[in-house]
Amino acid sequence: MNKPGDEIEDMGNDNGLLLVLSGPSGVGKGTVCSALRQRMKDIVYSVSVTTRAPRAGEVDGVNYFFRTKQEFERMIEQDELLEWAEYVGNYYGTPRRFVEETLASGRDVILEIEVQGAMQVKRKFPQGIFLFLAPPDLEELKNRIVGRGTENEEAVRKRMEAALAELELMNQYDYVVVNDEVGQACRRIEAIIIAEHLRKDRQIHKFRKWLKEE
């Protein structure tokens, strides 16, 4: 088990890919992630832990693990989270052991997390694949947030301010995918995943005997 602050060890080229999908609130991360998992059945979704209240239709252990603030803070103290962040008054985090064990088994893991959390993961696991999901424009982003019907005017204002700050961090990611249409966004991400699996450094060890390198 890694100590707090340690990077996760790169356990070999046969490991799964850690895919980190993030972007501003309201950009459609959950919708795109769900659609992508329907297209690519082998991807393992890492369910996040949060202290926010469930939205209509959300199920504990499926959409999120819903925990109290006290329970979440205990998880932080015991180093049970790969990353965590406080966002608009609520905590969000990723269970650490599940991710490590799944990658070691050779399966890809996708994290659908906030930008703050993605930056923590990047420090601990820089070999991950970091995908920034962007809106077509800011007006569309605001319309999506308002369209949820769950945010008051002040909450919408705060989320838009946070979105502008998050867009500034786009250059910390490997890829930027515009979510103008869900199916198209999924096809773009699928192409990225296929290409990453075909990278030379993930494939060449399979052919070293042919190349007389071992």
Task: Indicate yes or no: pTM above 0.75.
Answer: yes
Task: Specify the pLDDT at position 106.
Answer: 94
What is the C-alpha separation between 69 and 84, in angstroms, rounded?
A: 12
Q: Residues 108-160: pLDDT tens digits?
A: 999 998 888 899 899 888 999 999 999 888 887 878 777 666 677 787 788 78
79-110 confidence digits (pLDDT tens): 899 999 888 889 989 988 889 899 999 999 99
C-beta of residue 121 within 8 angstroms of C-beta of residue 82: yes
- Quote the CA–CA distance of 171 and 176 in Å, as a whole number: 9
- Going from N- to C-terminal start, the domains of the chain cover 18-47+108-207
Interatomic CA distance for residues 193 and 209, integer angstroms: 27
User: Which fold is adopted by the domain 18-47+108-207?
Assistant: Rossmann fold (3.40.50)
Write the pLDDT tens digit of every residue in 11-59. 446 899 999 999 988 788 999 999 999 999 999 999 889 999 999 999 9
Nearest to 136 by CA among 23, 20, 35, 36: 23
